[in-house]
Amino acid sequence: MSLIQELLATPRNASTMSKYTAGSGLMYLAAGALLIAWPGATQALFRDRAFVGDEQGLIRAMGMAVAVIGWLYLFGGRSGARQFVAATVVNRLTFVPAVLLPLAASGLFPHLLVTFAILDAALAVGAWTLIGRRAVAS
């Protein structure tokens, strides 16, 4: 199989939690692309302070990181691997808030970072709920 064929391959019966994770990945890809293309979204959409130095580049780097995470979530979800979905719950509920919330509390783009922390945690709870439903159904 070629690289493109491998990327486009999907499992026969993707579970709801795999589809949910792939959908989350699309949202992350879109958010990352927005920050790469328009770092000023931090001021226009989130009402954070104006850039005073090279923060525009940092926002673009953050956008790239979010887009890469989205890419991995998209294809992790499309793979149908249940362990991948469970692993995303762990990092979304631990690492993401542990890093983003102290940064926001220090005054670094607080509205943007708190929004990402809350959205990520909410998506993790959604995935965890789907995992729980699967466990009950089994």
In a domain, 114, yes or no: yes
Is 8 part of a structural domain of the chain? no
- The total domain count for the chain is 1
pLDDT of residue 51: 95
Burial state string for 101-133 with b = 16 or more CB within 10 A and e = fewer than 16: beebeeeebbebbbbbbebbbebbebbbebbee
Range of the domain at 41: 14-137
At 12 the pLDDT is: 79
pLDDT of residue 123: 97
∠ CA 59-92-135, nearest 5°, is: 150
Residue 109 lies in a domain: yes
The answer to whether residue 6 is domain-embedded is no
Question: What span, in angstroms and rounded, lies between the C-alpha atoms of 74 and 101?
Answer: 25
The tens digit of pLDDT for each residue in 36-54 reads 999 999 999 999 999 999 9
For residue 124, give both structure tokens.
Answer: 């993790």
Q: How large a percentage of the chain has pLDDT more than 70? A: 99
Evaluate whether residue 7 is within a structural domain. Answer: no
Low-confidence ranges of the chain (pLDDT < 70): 138
